[in-house]
Chain A
Amino acid sequence: MRRTSQGRHLAATVVELEGTPDLERICRSAERLGKDHPILHARNERSKKDWIARWRTDLASREAVPVRRWHLPGAPTAGGEEVPSLDELIGRIINGTEIDIHAAGPNLIFHVLVLSPDRWVLLLAWSHSLMDAVGMTKLLQLLASDASAPDDSSLAAMDATPVSELYKQAYPMIEEMRKFPSRRPRSLHRKGARPGASRFHVAAFGREETAVIRTKMAATAGELLLLPYFASCAARAVQAVIAARFPEEDASILLSLPVQRQSDPAKRPLFSNHMTPYTLLLTGEELAELKPATSALYRKYADFMRRKLPAAMHALMRMMERCPSRFYNLPAFIYMRGEICSLFHSHTGAFLPGVDTMFGCRIANGYHVPSVSAPPGIGIFFSEHEGQLALTISWKEGCITPLELELLKETLSQDLGIPVP
């Protein structure tokens, strides 16, 4: 993203809380977190010796994580700077420049926004290079427990597996990926157009609306298969836009999903990617109806797991960590017509399971707003907190027209069984 001037792959995590913020307590936590984890102020640098990107924690300060205070118009007594709305603040964060992993400085920032006398938001701005949503969940659990966690960043040290060995391990995934170009998958990225700012739309469904969505899901895919169901909804929505844009093509969708590590003997450090991505292809035919699409997605996931492809994908990612991005972008752009996948989809599941309160306040709701690169130019994410589903659509300006966005929402509305505002 940075190389193509698309921003810094930042994400915002929103935790809506009841009551009023205890700033002293939040600042204490921010101070402790910064002191315990130098990675939060470290810069990321490629070693000249092995070209692997590493966090320079040896040079980092142990400052407190910055805490910024905000208030809405008409509520200056809440303190901090004025911001027109929560969405405006999220937009500023995911398009911001304050977090820069290549320079010394904060990689995580706390924002406190008072919405009303009895409702406030803790907004965490973070770099996706620092961790993924699972890492963020672990961090939020740590904050909620008001405990310390030892610095475990040394666990992130790369092993010295030679690239030739990694290539052997990664080969099954490379073979798998060679099948993709023949289906000519597309994304919403418009070739030749320079992607603009990161945009987003959050639809936070209430408990009754979520119950309607859940009932439809249970009748279609069973009560528990959230990931294939919501991933199918997301894939079908993007496919509807691509099919409208290229009516003469049989639009296949290349879906990038996270896969949970299994029996991982190497415990991951808090600030790291806890999930391995995997990519699967869904044909236009498979996506024609929601129920078969969900079944197809689950079958392909099962096939991916049975063929032990997560390990191959993990080896491929480790290989790529050692290469300049141009090294792997170029073949991808040649063989895939410039596409890497059709959409991003992750963060599915319960938001902060097992945690009811944070900083002494009850958690009312929560969701993530990650920025996305172009290609693919779009990401669709779902999460749920205490029976309240949140849908986040994130895109790059210029990748989707207002009319196409309406088509995307309409398709999502039909599949979810409830209007997406």
Chain B
Amino acid sequence: MEQELIEIVRTEILDTSEPLTPQSDLFAAGLDSMGIMQLLLAIEDKFGVAIDPADLSRENFSTGAKIAALVAGKQAA
């Protein structure tokens, strides 16, 4: 899931050829408010998980690994 999320961020949101790893700082790579909105839509579409506003923190969205952990947690709940 990590890799899939990273590919979504890299190709569909940041539209960059720069490599990203699960630990890359996505905000430093250019993820902004509009990108977050697009990412939330992609997560809903691809993983069937809706993220609550309460979970929308910089901490939860700072890396691909953390987003994957959040999504996995939501799927398991």
Closest to A221 in B: B53
CA distance A224 to B36 in the complex (A): 7
Chain A: which residue is nearest B54 at the CB level?
A222
Contact of B12 among A221, A225, A263, A298 (CB under 8 A): A263
What 0/1 readout, one digit per residue, does chain B (34-59) give for beta carbons within 8 Å of chain A? 11111011001100000011111110
CA distance A4 to B30 in the complex (A): 38
- Among A228, A262, A349, A354, the most chain B Cβ lie within 10 Å of the Cβ of A262
Report whether B37 and A353 are in contact in the complex, using a CB–CB cutoff of 8 Å.
no
Minimum distance in angstroms from B47 CB to a CB of chain A = 15
A305 close to B (CB within 8 Å) = yes
Chain B stretch 7-51: residues in CB contact (< 8 A) with chain A: 11-13, 15, 28, 30, 32-38, 40-41, 44-45
Q: Does A285 contact B (CB under 8 A)?
A: no
Q: List B contacts of A306 (CB < 8 A).
A: 41, 45
Report yes or no: A262 in contact with B12, Cβ–Cβ below 8 A.
yes
Cross-chain contact of A302 among B30, B41, B57, B58 (Cβ < 8 A): B41
Cβ–Cβ contact B32 & A349, under 8 A: yes
CA distance A218 to B30 in the complex (A): 20
On whether A222 and B57 interact (CB within 8 A), knowing A262-B15, A263-B11, the answer reads: yes
Contact present for B13 and A348 (CB under 8 Å)? no
Q: Tell me if B37 and A261 are in contact (CB < 8 A).
A: no
Q: Which of A260, A263, A298 is B35 in contact with, Cβ under 8 Å?
A: A260
User: Is B56 a contact partner of A226 (Cβ separation < 8 A)?
Assistant: no
Q: A289 on the interface (CB 8 Å rule)?
A: no
CB of B34 within 8 A of CB of A305, answer no
Interface residues of A in 325-372 (CB under 8 A from B): 348-350, 353-354
Contacting B at CB under 8 A, from A240-299, are 258-264, 298
- Bound-state Cα–Cα, A280 to B16, Å: 29
Tell yes or no: A15 within 8 A of B by CB. Answer: no
Answer whether residue A87 sits at the interface, using C-beta atoms and an 8 A cutoff.
no
Q: Which of A221, A222, A261 has the most CB of B within 10 A?
A: A222
Interface residues contributed by chain B, number (CB under 8 Å): 25
Q: Which of A225, A264, A348 has the most CB of B within 10 A?
A: A225
Given contacts A223-B57, A225-B36, contact A305 B41 (CB under 8 A): yes
* Residue from B28, B33, B44, B45 within 8 A of A224 (CB atoms): B33
Cα A263 to Cα B42 in complex, Å, equals: 13
Asked whether any CB of chain B lies closer than 8 Å to the CB of A301, the reply is yes
Q: How far is the CA of A264 from the CA of B12 in the complex (A)?
A: 8
In the complex, which of the residues B32, B54, B58 has the most CB atoms of chain A within 10 Å of its own CB atom?
B32
Asked if A227 is at the interface (CB within 8 A of a chain B CB), the reply is yes
A302: B residues at CB distance < 8 A: 37, 40-41, 44
B15 with A263: CB separation less than 8 A:
yes
* Chain A residues whose C-beta falls within 8 Å of the C-beta of B33 in the assembled complex: 224-227, 348-349
**8 A Cβ contacts from A189-238 to B:** 218, 221-228
Determine the chain A residues whose CB is within 8 A of the CB of B57 once the complex forms.
Answer: 218, 222-224
CB neighbours (8 Å) of B52 from chain A are: 222
Q: Which residue of B lies closest to A229 (CB)?
A: B33
Query: Considering the chains assembled together, what is the distance between the CA atoms of A350 and B30 in angstroms?
Result: 10
Is the pair A222, B15 in contact by a Cβ cutoff of 8 Å? no
Residues of B within 8 A of A228 (CB): 37
**Alpha-carbon separation in the docked complex, A353 to B53 (Å):** 24
12 A-B residue pairs with Cβ-Cβ distance under 8 Å, sorted by A, are A222-B53, A224-B33, A224-B36, A225-B37, A225-B56, A226-B32, A260-B35, A260-B38, A262-B12, A262-B38, A353-B30, A354-B28
8 A-B pairs besides A221-B56, A224-B57 with CB distance below 8 A are: A218-B57, A225-B37, A262-B13, A298-B37, A305-B37, A349-B34, A353-B32, A354-B30
